[in-house]
Amino acid sequence: MNQRNPYGHEVSFDQHVWLPTAGQTYRSVVDLIDDRETIDRLIKRHIKPAPGRDPEPLATRRILSRLSEDELMLVQRAIEARGEQAYSQNMLVFASFHYPELRIKLGTSIENPPDHIHRMQKSDYYIGDMYSADLIESSLARCNLGLDPGCAYLDFGCSSGSLIRVLQAAAPEASFHGVDPVPSSIEWASQNIERATFAVSNISPPLSYESGTFRGVTAISIWSHLGQSEALAWFNEMYRVIEPDGWLLFTAHGETSIYYYNAIELFAPRRILALLEAIVNSDFVFEEVYLGKSPEGLSAAGYGNVYFRRAWIERWLGDKWEIVYFGEAENQRNQDVYVLRKRRAEAGGSLRASRSTDSFLRRAYGWCFGSK
């Protein structure tokens, strides 16, 4: 018999507080807090959500710059006649769909995947992921980087090529490659997106490319789903395939994502409170989403929703990467934007080894990814 609780009363999270009625249903405090505004105040008490900002429409404007003033005015007037705003992305889509001769000048395509092929945006009135293309161009511009002619770039986790379609229209003299583990997405992209090169990747490294192949790599909302060992393994693989002084631009969930998901009521209050508790106590949080396999049929081991702080990147990747840009909540007021530059090897060709990272990967995989 428990001397402190001889009647077997229900005990709260505080061992000194009991329910005197045996067998009464007990609800924890997280189940009692179900008001979104209360949770909002609780979040703001422990973290400081960033306001974020919209990207400059640099990519879409660059594509539109191929049109003459008369052609731009034609498109603008047609859009305004429909009662719509003639902002750059709307003009680009409208011109591509309604003026075939202008579509050729723009270098865009109106071919879109059928419903069974994965892509994030499902509209048929669509020419690609313009938002992410503008996000990439504006983020790179803030650290004096760009998509240079004659250089090769990789979109890691490209799905069916939505982003590459816009990037190569904005930078036609660069070379674009895409990899994704879903074969049907890669098959559609290979057959419908000209000039770019696509390949099916495994769910774990390595990729099939030679070391130092790419000037830069983009990855939109990929590290927002990778568990810690998987995330570190893929960061090391990016280090291998990127050339010296090359860059990696990626987006991922951070602290503001928890505030954002509460505001749009995407998750139940209990889930939001669990995420808040986790991020307050750790720089890296894993949230289980799938059991067994993802909807695409891929293994869900080490794949869910992930939230991490900049401090986690600095601690695990600082020896191999320099953070040259950090845009908190700048991807749709939700995810953080990082631009990392690959550090050069020291004299003699060796890299300052990240002992903590390499030992972690050896424990997780039995071998170490990345060039030495």
Q: Encode pLDDT of 298-354 as tens digits.
A: 787 889 999 999 999 999 999 999 999 999 999 999 999 999 999 987 654 445 444
Q: Is position 36 within any domain?
A: no
310-317 helix and 228-241 helix, angle to the nearest 10 degrees: 60
The Cα 293–Cα 282 span in angstroms is 27
**Number of domains the chain is built from:** 2
pLDDT for res 353: 42
Q: Give the phi and the psi of residue 203 in degrees, each rounded to 5.
A: -85, -5
Q: Is position 236 within any domain?
A: yes
Q: Is position 300 within any domain?
A: yes
pLDDT for res 11: 77
Give the number of other CB atoms < 10 A from CB of residue 33. Answer: 15
Mean pLDDT, all residues of the chain: 91
Alpha-carbon torsion angle 227, 231, 232, 234, nearest 10: 140
pLDDT for res 224: 97
Question: Are 5 and 140 within one domain?
Answer: no
Q: Is position 5 within any domain?
A: yes
Q: Is 135 exposed, middle or buried (0-12, 13-18, 19+ CB in 10 A)?
A: buried
Place of tokens 């007990």: 26
pLDDT for res 346: 64
Q: Is 99 exposed, middle or buried (0-12, 13-18, 19+ CB in 10 A)?
A: middle
The Cα 300–Cα 294 span in angstroms is 6
pLDDT for res 19: 77
pLDDT for res 366: 41
Q: How far apart are the first and last CA of the chain?
A: 61
**What are the per-10-residue average pLDDT scores of the chain (372 residues)?**
71 78 74 93 96 97 98 98 97 98 98 92 92 98 98 98 98 98 97 97 96 98 96 98 98 98 95 96 94 80 94 97 98 98 71 47 41 34
Q: What is the CATH number of the domain that holds 259?
A: 3.40.50.150
pLDDT for res 371: 38
pLDDT for res 24: 65
**Structural domain for 151, as ranges:** 127-365
For residues 344 and 242, the answer to whether their CB atoms sit within 8 Å is no
Question: Are 8 and 147 within one domain?
Answer: no
pLDDT for res 8: 73
Q: Which of 104, 99, 81, 79 is nearest to 89 (CA)?
A: 79
For residues 241 and 208, the answer to whether their CB atoms sit within 8 Å is no
Q: How far is CA 210 from CA 26, 132, 182, in A?
A: 59, 27, 22
Give the number of other CB atoms < 10 A from CB of residue 144. Answer: 8
In the chain, alpha helices (H): 29-32, 36-46, 58-64, 69-81, 88-98, 100-106, 130-141, 162-170, 183-192, 228-241, 255-263, 269-281, 310-317, 355-365
Q: Is position 171 within any domain?
A: yes
**How is residue 125 written in tokens?**
């009135």
Question: Are 131 and 24 within one domain?
Answer: no
pTM, whole model, 2 decimals? 0.89
The Cα 269–Cα 31 span in angstroms is 8
Place of tokens 């106590």: 281
Q: Is position 82 within any domain?
A: no
Question: Are 304 and 162 within one domain?
Answer: yes
pLDDT for res 9: 75
Which residue type sits at 48? K
Question: Are 137 and 22 within one domain?
Answer: no
Q: Is position 88 within any domain?
A: no
Q: How far is CA 112 from CA 5, 34, 199, in A?
A: 66, 41, 19
CA quadruple 95, 99, 100, 105: dihedral sign: negative
Q: Is position 316 within any domain?
A: yes
